[in-house]
């Protein structure tokens, strides 16, 4: 009985999709608009008289302006010991490596940083000790219970007090702590850079859906390496040596590259 019902529903959906496609192909000289989400409209135009068909994708995406240290703020959301135990999208060592690398990127470029946690006295646990040690001078907002950090007045007002429009964010979990804050900040006019490899969640499927959701809301999906490179822009800047050292310590392949270069220079080749 259940199997038959599922088959009937499937056939019904196929018929509906076929009917929609047929109606599109039969519209002569008309433009049909379909709302893909709140930001994007797909316009399908077919003109049989000129045999000229086109599909146009339009939206409210703003032109991209790269990160700069003077207008950027780093946010570390709910990197807590209890939540850390649930991260399965990376190995524990890789995840800690990426979180600390992002934190040291903020320090290298002298960018202010805010840490926040939720219900530290419960199972979520305290903020990761490694992160606290790295960002010992950062502002910490310990929320009493709000799941979305943006719903906490102190956190939200602290972010606004810096008067910086580019927010580099990471959090546990990717689909809740990072995504909720990212969508809320975007709604209030901020440009959000979601650092996926310094964030984590329970499964790859969940992570992928969170990435899609943030990207559709115009968040920039980034890695800590991409964030640091975009801030540097040119190796000749004063932070170039410091960035090379950061890469050597937190990107194994880059450490090997530097070692190879040093070995070559020492032999005079």
Euclidean distance between the first and the last CA atom of the chain, given in angstroms as a whole number: 77
**φ/ψ (deg, to 5) at 56:** -115, 130
* Residue in 139, 206, 214, 221 with CA at minimum distance from that of residue 180: 214
Distance between CA atoms of residues 90 and 198, nearest Å: 10
Q: Are 149 and 178 in contact (CB under 8 A)?
A: no
- Is residue 177 annotated as part of the catalytic site, yes or no? yes
3-class state of residue 60 by DSSP? coil
Query: For 39-52, what is the HEC assignment?
Result: CEEEEEEEECCCCE
Token match 């909720």: residue? 180
Could you say which of 115, 131, 172, 177 is catalytic?
Answer: 177
Distance between CA atoms of residues 188 and 117, nearest Å: 22
Q: Are 174 and 203 in contact (CB under 8 A)?
A: no
Distance between CA atoms of residues 92 and 142, nearest Å: 24
Per the document, the length of the chain is 269
- Give the CA angle between residues 101, 104, 108 to the nearest 5°: 135
Catalytic residues: 177
């Amino acid at each position: 009985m259940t199997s038959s019902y599922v088959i009937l529903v499937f056939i019904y959906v196929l018929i509906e999709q076929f009917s929609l496609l047929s109606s599109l192909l039969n519209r002569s000289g008309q433009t049909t608009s379909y709302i893909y989400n709140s930001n994007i409209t797909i316009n399908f135009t077919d003109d049989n008289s000129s045999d000229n068909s086109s599909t146009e994708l339009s939206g409210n995406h703003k032109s991209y302006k790269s990160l700069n240290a003077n207008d950027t703020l780093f946010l570390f959301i709910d990197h807590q010991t209890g939540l850390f135990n649930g991260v399965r999208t990376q190995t524990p060592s890789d995840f800690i490596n990426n979180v600390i690398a992002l934190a040291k990127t903020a320090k290298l470029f002298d960018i202010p940083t805010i840490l926040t946690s939720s219900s530290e006295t419960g199972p979520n646990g305290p903020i990761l000790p490694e992160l606290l040690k790295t960002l010992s001078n950062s502002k910490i907002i310990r929320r009493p219970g709000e799941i979305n950090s943006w719903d906490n007045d102190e956190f939200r007002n602290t972010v606004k007090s810096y008067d910086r429009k580019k927010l580099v964010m990471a959090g546990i979990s990717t689909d809740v702590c990072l995504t909720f804050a990212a969508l809320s900040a975007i709604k209030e006019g901020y440009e959000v850079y979601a650092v996926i490899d310094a964030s984590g969640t329970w499964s790859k499927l969940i992570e992928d859906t969170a990435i899609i959701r943030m990207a559709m809301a115009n968040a920039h999906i980034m890695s800590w390496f991409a964030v640091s490179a975009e801030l540097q822009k040119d190796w000749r800047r004063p932070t170039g040596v410091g960035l090379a050292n950061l890469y050597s310590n937190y990107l194994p392949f880059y450490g090997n590259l530097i070692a190879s270069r040093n070995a070559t220079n020492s032999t005079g080749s």
